[in-house]
Structures are given as structure tokens and as C-alpha cells.
Amino acid sequence: MFINPDAQKQEIAEAGQKVLVALYGGGKESLDAMGYRLFTKSVIKTNFNLAPRPPTHDAGYYHYLSTYLQVQT
């Protein structure tokens, strides 16, 4: 997808979200749902750490487009 010079923004976003969800160990849930689930799971622990949370949907969207642009140039 990222090497296709004619890819549409929506296609890039869908492919990028699938990659990030897979990297963070999620199933079919969205980045926001997965982030919330991981947040609530980490709050319960006494040693609270926000670092392993995935990016939000909007932050991920711009990351995918930036990655696409870098691959194209």
C-alpha cells in the first residue's frame, strides 16, 4: 500500500491502522478503543506507566500519511 503512488488517503489510513493495531497486539478493535483498554489496564496497577499506549486515531492518521510521503520520495 505504501509503495503505491496512486493510493488514496483512506486506503493509507486503513492499512496504517491495521499495522499499528497489530504492533500493539490488538485484534479488530480501533486504536482509540485499544488505547482506552490499555489505559484502564495500566491504571489498576500500582506502578502506573503511560508510555506503552498506542497513538490516538488522529495522531496515527497523520503518522501514516507522513510515512507514505517518506516512502514516495
Structural domain range at position 44: 9-72
As a whole number, the mean pLDDT across the chain is 86
Q: In this predicted structure, which of 42-46, 50-54, 61-65 has the lowest mean pLDDT?
A: 50-54
- Please report whether residue 4 resides in a domain: no
As for how many domains the chain has, the answer is 1
- Please report whether residue 34 resides in a domain: yes
* pLDDT tens-place string over residues 13-44: 999 988 888 888 878 888 888 888 888 888 88
- Please report whether residue 65 resides in a domain: yes
The length of the chain is 73
The CA distance from 60 to 57, in Å, is 5
Question: Which set of grid coordinates corresponds to residue 55?
Answer: 497513538
The CA distance from 3 to 50, in Å, is 33
pTM to 2 decimal places = 0.72
Give the per-residue pLDDT at 65: 92
